[in-house]
Amino acid sequence: MDTLVFKVGGMTCGGCVNSVRKVITAINGVSKVDVSLERGEATVIYDPAQSTQEAFKTAVRNAGFETG
Split into its structural domains, the chain has a count of 1
Give the domain extent around 34: 2-67
Report the pLDDT averaged over residues 21-28: 97
CATH code of residue 34: 3.30.70.100
| Burial bucket for residue 4 (CB in 10 Å: 0-12, 13-18, 19+) | middle
Amino acid at 23: V
Report the pLDDT averaged over residues 1-19: 96
Q: Going along 1-68, which residue ranges are E strands?
A: 2-9, 30-36, 41-46, 66-67
pTM of the model: 0.91
pLDDT tens readout for residues 25-64: 999 999 999 999 999 999 999 999 999 999 999 999 999 9
> What pLDDT does 68 receive?
84
In angstroms, the CA 48 to CA 42 distance is 17
